Amino acid sequence: MSIIKVLGIDLGKSSFHVIGRDHSDNLIFRKKFSRNELITYLAQLPECLIAFEACGGAHGLGRRCEALGHLVKLIPPQYVRPYVKGNKNDFIDAEAICEAAGRPNMRFVSVKSVQAQIILAIHKSRQGYVKEGNACMSRIGSLLLEFGMSLPTGHSLMKRLFFWLSQ
Average pLDDT, the chain: 88
Residue range 149-165, pLDDT digits in tens: 777 677 777 777 767 76
Residue range 15-33, pLDDT digits in tens: 999 999 988 888 888 999 9
Per-residue buried b or exposed e for 36-54, using 16+ beta carbons within 10 Å of the residue's own CB: eebeeebeebeebbbbbbb
Specify if 25 maps to a domain.
Answer: yes
pLDDT of residue 141: 81
Residue range 83-119, pLDDT digits in tens: 888 888 889 899 999 999 988 899 999 999 999 999 9
Q: Are residues 161 and 96 in the same domain?
A: no
Q: Are residues 137 and 103 in the same domain?
A: no
pLDDT of residue 26: 87
pLDDT of residue 25: 84
Q: Distance of alpha carbon 120 from its chain centroid, rounded? A: 13
Question: How large is the average pLDDT for residues 133-150?
Answer: 84
Whichever domain contains 55, its CATH number is 3.30.420.10
Q: Are residues 124 and 46 in the same domain?
A: no
CB atoms < 10 A from the CB of 62, how many? 21
Q: Are residues 156 and 120 in the same domain?
A: yes
